[in-house]
């Protein structure tokens, strides 16, 4: 997968890092759908695909 743009957002403090966050990617739709499926197969992960085009 070739990623042209990646932006990761999550909450942090001096002594902790959040367990949730947002990652914005700009690869092909097929690559994103495959990544979402792979991430959702992991325990504790909920990934969603949102097309901003």
pLDDT digits (tens, 9 = 90+) for 12-42: 788 877 777 777 777 788 888 999 999 999 9
Residue 27: partners with Cβ closer than 8 Å, 6 or more residues away? 1, 2, 3, 4, 35
For residue 7, what are the domain limits? Answer: 1-53
Global pTM reads: 0.64
Please report which confidence band the pLDDT of residue 1 belongs to, taking 50, 70 and 90 as the band edges.
low
Collapsing DSSP states into helix, strand and coil, what is residue 15?
coil
Domain count, the chain: 1
Gap between the Cα atoms of 52 and 32, Å rounded: 13
């Amino acid at each position: 997968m070739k990623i042209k743009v990646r932006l990761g957002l999550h909450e942090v403090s001096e002594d902790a890092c959040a367990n949730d966050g947002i990652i914005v990617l700009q690869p092909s739709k097929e690559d994103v759908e495959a990544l979402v499926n792979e991430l959702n197969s992991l325990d504790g992960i909920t990934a969603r695909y949102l097309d901003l085009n």
